[in-house]
Structure 1
Amino acid sequence: MSIPNAPGAKGDLVQGFKPRHVTMLSIAGIIGAGLFVGSGHAIAAAGPGAIIAYALSGLLVVLVMRMLGEMAVANPDTGSFSAYADQAIGRWAGFTIGWLYWWFWVLVIPIEAIAAGEIFHSWFPQVQVWTFALVMTLLLTITNLFSVAKYGEFEFWFAMLKVTAIVLFITLGAMALFGVLPQHPVSGLPTLLREHGGFLPNGWSAIFTALITTLFSFIGTEAVTIAAAESDDPSRNIAKATRSVIWRISVFYLLSIMVIISVVPWNDPQLTASGSYQRALELMNVPHAKLMMDIVVLVAVASCLNSSIYIASRMIYSLSRRADAPAFIQRTSATGVPRAAVIASTVIGMLTTLLNFFAPARIFDFLLASSGSIALLVYLAIAISQLRMRATLERRDQALACRMWLFPWLTWAVILFISGVLVTMFIMPSHRIEVSSTLLLTAAIILLSRTSRRPNGPLRSLDPLRSAG
Structure 2
Amino acid sequence: MEDPVEDSKNRMKRSLKTRHLSMIALGGSIGTGLFVASGSAISTAGPGGALVAYTAIGIMVYFLMTSLGEMATYLPVSGSFAAYATRFVDPALGFAMGWNYWFNWAITVAVDISTVSLIMHFWLPNVPGWIFSIIALILIFTINAISVSSFWETEYWLAIIKVVTVLIFLVIGLMSIIGIMGRQGTGLRYWNYRSGPFVNGIPGILGVFVVAGFSFQGTELIGITAGESATPEKSIPKAIHQVFWRILIFYIFSILVISLIIPYTSPTLLGSSAKDIAISPFTVVFQRAGLAGAASIMNAVILTSVISSANSGMYASTRMLYSMSLQGYAAKSFGLANKRGIPIFSLLLTTLISALTFLTSFFGPKLYLFLVSASGLTGFIAWIGIAISHYRFRRAFIKQGHKLSELRYHAQLFPFGPLLALVLCILVIIGQNLKSLADFDWISIGVTYMSIPLFLVLFLYYKLRYRTTLIPLSKVDLKSTIRDDELKQNKA
Q: TM-score, normalised by structure 1?
A: 0.91
Q: Does 1:42 align with 2:55?
A: no
Q: Does 1:464 align with 2:462?
A: no
Partner of residue 234, structure 1:
232
1:323-342 pair list within 5 angstroms: 323-342=328-347
Distance 1:426 1:285, change over 3 A: closer
Residue 367 of structure 1 deviates from its aligned partner by 1.3
1:58-457 pair list within 5 angstroms: 58-181=58-181, 184-185=182-183, 187-273=185-271, 274-359=279-364, 361-394=365-398, 395=401, 398-399=404-405, 400-425=407-432, 428-429=435-436, 432-433=445-446, 436-450=449-463
Residue 267 of structure 1 deviates from its aligned partner by 1.4
Amino acid in the other structure paired with 1:403: H
Inter-partner Cα distance in structure 1 for 2:485 and 2:455: 29
Summarize deviations over 1:110-159 as a string: whole Å, max 9, x none: 11111111122332233211221121011111110011011111111111
Inter-partner Cα distance in structure 1 for 2:147 and 2:292: 40
Distance 1:83 1:189, change over 3 A: farther
Contact 1:85 1:94 in 2 (8 A): yes
> Structure 1 residues 72-81 or 20-29, which shifts more?
20-29
Summarize deviations over 1:63-106 as a string: whole Å, max 9, x none: 11111111111111112111111111111000111111111111
Distance 1:358 1:272, change over 3 A: farther
- SS in structure 2 at match of 1:324: coil
Contact 1:264 1:283 in 2 (8 A): no
Contact 1:113 1:137 in 2 (8 A): yes
Residue 289 of structure 1 deviates from its aligned partner by 1.2
| Structure 2 unmatched ranges of 5 or more | 272-278, 438-443, 468-476, 488-492
Distance 1:409 1:250, change over 3 A: closer
Contact 2:155 2:308 in 1 (8 A): yes
Distance 1:420 1:202, change over 3 A: closer
- SS in structure 2 at match of 1:229: helix
Distance 1:23 1:465, change over 3 A: farther
- SS in structure 1 at match of 2:229: coil
Inter-partner Cα distance in structure 2 for 1:98 and 1:189: 48
Distance 1:37 1:463, change over 3 A: farther
Inter-partner Cα distance in structure 1 for 2:427 and 2:306: 31
Inter-partner Cα distance in structure 1 for 2:287 and 2:8: 52
Q: TM-score, normalised by structure 2?
A: 0.87
Residue 200 of structure 1 deviates from its aligned partner by 1.2
Residue 215 of structure 1 deviates from its aligned partner by 0.8
Partner of residue 32, structure 1:
31
Contact 2:20 2:153 in 1 (8 A): yes
Inter-partner Cα distance in structure 1 for 2:33 and 2:389: 28
Summarize deviations over 1:345-387 as a string: whole Å, max 9, x none: 111011111111221x222122111122212211111111111
Partner of residue 57, structure 2:
57
Amino acid in the other structure paired with 1:464: D
Inter-partner Cα distance in structure 2 for 1:340 and 1:186: 58
Contact 1:96 1:442 in 2 (8 A): yes
Inter-partner Cα distance in structure 2 for 1:106 and 1:11: 24
Distance 1:393 1:291, change over 3 A: same
Distance 1:17 1:379, change over 3 A: same
Contact 2:26 2:247 in 1 (8 A): no
Summarize deviations over 1:406-456 as a string: whole Å, max 9, x none: 3223433332333344345475417733553111211221233236559xx
Inter-partner Cα distance in structure 2 for 1:409 and 1:271: 35
Contact 1:321 1:462 in 2 (8 A): no
- SS in structure 2 at match of 1:126: coil
> Structure 1 residues 109-118 or 407-416, which shifts more?
407-416
Inter-partner Cα distance in structure 1 for 2:360 and 2:350: 16
Inter-partner Cα distance in structure 1 for 2:129 and 2:482: 41
Partner of residue 471, structure 2:
none
Amino acid in the other structure paired with 1:132: F
Distance 1:155 1:413, change over 3 A: closer
Contact 2:210 2:431 in 1 (8 A): no
Summarize deviations over 1:246-266 as a string: whole Å, max 9, x none: 202111111111111111111
Contact 1:369 1:438 in 2 (8 A): yes
The percent of aligned pairs where both chains have the same amino acid is 30
Contact 1:84 1:385 in 2 (8 A): yes
Summarize deviations over 1:213-249 as a string: whole Å, max 9, x none: 1111100001122124212112211111122232021
Contact 2:111 2:372 in 1 (8 A): no
| Structure 1 unmatched ranges of 5 or more | none
Partner of residue 20, structure 1:
19
Contact 1:11 1:330 in 2 (8 A): no
Distance 1:428 1:268, change over 3 A: same
Inter-partner Cα distance in structure 2 for 1:39 and 1:427: 20
Residue 11 of structure 1 deviates from its aligned partner by 6.4
> Structure 1 residues 192-201 or 395-404, which shifts more?
395-404
Distance 1:294 1:364, change over 3 A: same
